[in-house]
Amino acid sequence: GPGGAPAGMPSTAAGGVPPDISNLSPRQAADQLFNRVMTEVSQGDTARAKFFVPMALSAYDLAGPLDNDELYHLSLINRVGGNYEDALKNAQDILAKDPDHILALSAAAEAEVAMGRNSDAAQHYRHLLDVFAAQQSRALPEYQDHSQMMDIVKNEAEAFLAGR
């Protein structure tokens, strides 16, 4: 029908169709939707990424209580959706338990930047750089899952502080 796949064409996950999460646990569904949002962002399709944000947020509501990795995912999803206060709160929820958490410090800084609070962002970024070496050696699941992000967030922190 209108808005669906053209006649004869299979409807793929790359189109506007959400991933089939009906047989997944709440945590798996949340992870699938997080991955979908981030894939659309990485491909430059912000509008499509935003389309999946409400579904992803609902999935994380069902998946609670959330661990640090899930809170980090939630912060990124909220940032994509323009929910910067929520993105900051998600990061702060991690930092309340683990004040040196690299990914949470980065997520908090980026939320602050999005809200125009550059001095608060700079504090998070400075802290990130101060603890980076020590943190990198921690075998946290989220550090391993997001290993490619570790150098990226360090470079972002250095670039932000160099520009001040």
Residue 56: what pLDDT?
Answer: 96
- Identity of residue 75: S
Name the band, by pLDDT with cuts 50, 70 and 90, for residue 37.
very high
Judge whether residue 117 has pLDDT over 80: yes
- The packing angle between helices 118-136 and 102-114, to 10°, is 170
Cα 109 to Cα 63: distance, rounded to the nearest angstrom: 25
Name the band, by pLDDT with cuts 50, 70 and 90, for residue 16.
low
pTM for this predicted structure = 0.85
Judge whether residue 1 has pLDDT over 50: no
Name the band, by pLDDT with cuts 50, 70 and 90, for residue 22.
confident
